[in-house]
Amino acid sequence: MKAMILKRAAKIERAPLSLEEIETPKPKKGELLVKVKACGVCHTDLHIVEGDIPLKKSPIIPGHEVIGVVSEIGTDVTKFKKGDRVGIPWLYSTCGKCEFCLDGKENLCESAKFTGWDVDGGYAEYIIGLEDFTYKIPEKFSDIEAAPLMCAGVVGYRAYRLSEIKPGQRLGLFGFGTSAHVIIQIANYHRCEVYVFTRSASHKKHAEELDAKWVGDPKDNPPKKLDSAIIFAPKGSVVLDALRVIKNGGVVANSSIYMDDIPKMNYEKYLYHEKKLLSVANSTRKDVIDFLTEAEKASVKNNVSIFPFKDANKVLGMLKRSEINGAAVLTFD
């Protein structure tokens, strides 16, 4: 099979991914061999490729927003059959035995494995998925539309829930890439007022097209204090911007897997009055199932740019430069 391989981390400008022919894997007990139809391109892929997130496996095939069709099944697989259309997200597996797994917090499992980081991902013609961590995709979504839902959508949705936002309240979104353009649709479905903070002129325009109540730069002050905010941008300074614009008792949920240093904080100015700041780590299987149901109800539409797999380096570069509105998806077709 053909796959985009990362042998060593490097700046994306050096095109560190190479298209190679490798052996197609065989599914074992409880596994599925999935023929990849589409794979979304995520900022986490960029952080892995550039080494912001240290490699766990080398060489590695990145990609964790995978949509495909079951090609072969291993022994003891009962939930899927050949021909089923499925999705494989960021969370690849957990131990199922630790205190976090037993408490419904498998996203915090210290033995968790992640697609495209611990195990080979979806920048390839085929991928191995585990039966218990693979999901049927609603018919409402095409392969291309569904791919960004598997991480940008799911992790964004977990951040949305952890932000404690309620219908009709004011929600801030810092950064307006793949996750944010999905979550604004979920928030609008729940009649929230959405305030978008981004430096990109094209992203501002996109936010306005998706019915943002207000759009501005991260340093701007919105016309009203916000109930909650979600951070998608990996800039530590944005944490202070978000805390500054939420009201007393408000919540800031940071969904970035990687972030540069947060500047020194004046406690009384930014965090006092029972404001909450929390990180969002990965997602659970329940998050995936609940989000796919919610996205179907909300008729979420992805603004998608489609590229061939061989252009993965180019696409990650565009992502780095904020040149993509909405989501980027790779396909062999």
Measure the CA–CA gap between 100 and 285, rounded to whole angstroms. 13
Query: In this structure, are residues 154 and 67 in contact, taking their beta carbons and an 8 Å threshold?
Result: no
Confidence at residue 134, expressed as pLDDT on a 0 to 100 scale: 98
> For residue 202, what are the domain limits?
154-279
DSSP-assigned beta bridge partners for residue 93? 113
* Number of Cβ within a 10 Å radius of residue 245: 23
Tens of pLDDT, residue by residue over 114-160, are 999 999 999 999 999 999 999 999 999 999 999 999 999 999 999 99
Residues 47 and 193 occupy one common structural domain: no
Residue 90's pLDDT band (cuts 50, 70, 90): very high
Residues 163 and 140 occupy one common structural domain: no
Does position 333 have pLDDT exceeding 80, yes or no? no
Residue 307's pLDDT band (cuts 50, 70, 90): very high
Residue with the two structure tokens 């498998």: 106
Residues 73 and 24 occupy one common structural domain: yes
- Of 263, 279, 295, the residue at which a domain comes to its end is 279
Average pLDDT in the chain: 96
Q: What's the CATH number where 186 sits?
A: 3.40.50.720
Within 8 A by CB and 6+ apart from 120, the residues are 3, 25, 57, 60, 61, 127, 128
Query: In this structure, are residues 184 and 194 in contact, taking their beta carbons and an 8 Å threshold?
Result: yes
Measure the CA–CA gap between 58 and 55, rounded to whole angstroms. 7
Whether the model pTM is above 0.75:
yes
- Of 251, 279, 307, the residue at which a domain comes to its end is 279
Measure the CA–CA gap between 129 and 215, rounded to whole angstroms. 40
Within 8 A by CB and 6+ apart from 268, the residues are none
Residues 86 and 235 occupy one common structural domain: no
Number of domains in the chain: 2
Q: Where are the alpha helices (DSSP H) in the chain?
A: 43-50, 99-102, 143-146, 152-162, 178-189, 201-209, 237-245, 267-270, 285-297, 312-320
Could you tell me how many helices (H) and strands (E) the chain has, helices first?
10, 17
Average pLDDT of span 88-101: 98
Residue 40's pLDDT band (cuts 50, 70, 90): very high
